[in-house]
Amino acid sequence: MAQIISGKAVSASVREELKKETAALIESSGIYPGLAVILVGNDPASQVYVRNKQLACEELGFHPFEYKLGENTTQEQLLDLINVLNKDPKVHGILVQLPLPDHLDEQSVLYSIDPAKDVDAFHPMNVGRIMIGSYSFLPCTPAGVMELLDASGIEIAGKNCVVVGRSNIVGKPMSMLLLQRSGTVTICHSKTKNLKEVCAEADILVVAIGKPKFITADMVKEGAVVIDVGINRDENNKLCGDVDYESVEPKAGYITPVPGGVGPMTITMLMKNTLRAAKMQNGIED
């Protein structure tokens, strides 16, 4: 039987800390961490994500700035708004909710955000800083995974770490963070040969592929730490991860459930980045 790593519980305790730190910042300097969230269009899932970010801001005492732009917003209008927010001292973090409508160029939009306010850590400057291990912000999902491993007292140094998935927002930065903590890291993807054998060697297995219940018990070593980043719907339209939880849980040493595992950490890490941005932009050390 695996020990269940509860993202809900870890996220709640990180938020308690952030709440205290925010109150102390407001008390000592009058600075309210400000997060601007830009939503373009009417995608229902994006609307839910944006709402949850606003609620998290309210919970922690941040100032939320919400910009809901119409589906037909032009590239120029969006870049103009980002330019204004880049210069606004009350806004410490800027997040553009993805995906953007097809007519907008996602890359140039993300690259136009001031790296000091890029709390998603998608700007090449922040991506590069992760690579050299000298970063201000970490992308929220991999940062959340690290927080879960640390909160569970899991040692990373010297461990065989296998990351399945090599996306820019999850797999690649995840691999870098494990490497920085001296894990021996293997990155797998859709062209990897003998995936089952590679996964079965992992002491720590992180899966981010977007395929429901793809990782089965025969791909997991007895006692391994299994972190499931995937968020999918199964054949009954029920939320599930990339790991076949039922078969893997009895074999694993630790496992994250879906929902309630990695998911709750992501917005919390966004808030952590925003608080840090507010301090950095005001010359306050952590």
In the complex, what is the shortest distance from the CB of residue 248 to ligand NDP, in angstroms, rounded to a whole number? Answer: 16
In the complex, what is the shortest distance from the CB of residue 31 to ligand NDP, in angstroms, rounded to a whole number? Answer: 28
Nearer to ligand NDP, 11 or 112 (CB): 11
Nearer to ligand NDP, 226 or 231 (CB): 231
State how far the alpha carbon of 53 is from the alpha carbons of 33, 63, 107, 248, in Å: 13, 11, 22, 32
* Residues in contact with ligand NDP by the rule CB under 6 A: 141, 164-167, 169-171, 188-192, 195, 208-211, 229-232, 262-263, 266
Nearer to ligand NDP, 261 or 279 (CB): 261
Which residue lies nearest ligand NDP, judged by its C-beta? 167
Nearer to ligand NDP, 115 or 230 (CB): 230
Which residues are tagged catalytic?
53, 97, 120
In the complex, what is the shortest distance from the CB of residue 131 to ligand NDP, in angstroms, rounded to a whole number? Answer: 18
In the complex, what is the shortest distance from the CB of residue 49 to ligand NDP, in angstroms, rounded to a whole number? Answer: 10
